[in-house]
Amino acid sequence: MSTPIPIGPLPGPLVDADWLEQRLSAPGLVVFDASVGAHRRAEQRIPGARPFDIDGALSDHANPLPHTLPAPDRFTEEMRSLGVNDADTVVIYDGAGIYSSARAWWMLRAMGFDQVAVLDGGLRAWAEAGLPLESVGSAPARPRGDFTARPRAGLVVGSGEVARALADPASVVIDARSRGRFSGVAAEPRPGLRSGHMPGSVNLPFTELQHDGRMLPEPQLYAAFSSLTGDRAQLVFSCGSGVTACVLALGAELAGYRELAVYDGSWSEWGLPSDLPVVTGPESRGPLS
- State the average pLDDT for the chain: 94
Distance (Å, rounded) from C-alpha 112 to C-alpha 129? 32
pLDDT tens-place string over residues 71-101: 999 999 999 999 999 999 999 999 999 999 9
pLDDT tens-place string over residues 95-129: 999 999 999 999 999 999 999 999 999 999 999 99
Flag the least confident range among 54-63, 85-94, 223-232, 280-289: 280-289
Residue among 91, 77, 50 nearest 147 (CA): 77
Query: Residue 71: which residues within 8 A CB-CB, separation 6 or more?
Result: 60
CB 32 within 8 A of CB 93: yes
Inter-helix orientation angle 218-229/245-254, to 10°: 110
Residue-range domains of the chain with CATH: 14-135 (3.40.250.10), 156-270 (3.40.250.10)
Q: Is the pLDDT of residue 161 over 50?
A: yes
Q: What is the pLDDT of residue 287?
A: 39
43-50: average pLDDT: 95
Chain centroid to Cα 284, Å, comes to 26
pLDDT tens-place string over residues 181-195: 999 999 999 999 999
In this prediction, residue 289 has a pLDDT band, given cuts at 50, 70 and 90, of very low
Q: What is the pLDDT of residue 2?
A: 61
In this prediction, residue 23 has a pLDDT band, given cuts at 50, 70 and 90, of very high
Q: What is the pLDDT of residue 5?
A: 87
**Three-class DSSP category at 190:** coil
Whole-prediction pTM: 0.95
pLDDT tens-place string over residues 211-238: 999 999 999 999 999 999 999 999 999 9
Q: What is the pLDDT of residue 256?
A: 97
229-254: average pLDDT: 97
Distance (Å, rounded) from C-alpha 102 to C-alpha 13? 10
Flag the least confident range among 2-16, 83-97, 150-164, 247-261: 2-16
What does the buried/exposed string (b/e) look like for 44-78 if buried means 16 or more CB atoms within 10 Å of the residue's CB? ebbeebbbbbbeebbbbeeeeebbbbbeeebbbbb
CB 214 within 8 A of CB 251: no
Residues annotated as part of the active site: 239
Q: What is the pLDDT of residue 288?
A: 36
- CA quadruple 97, 99, 105, 109: dihedral, nearest 10: 150
Q: What is the pLDDT of residue 137?
A: 80
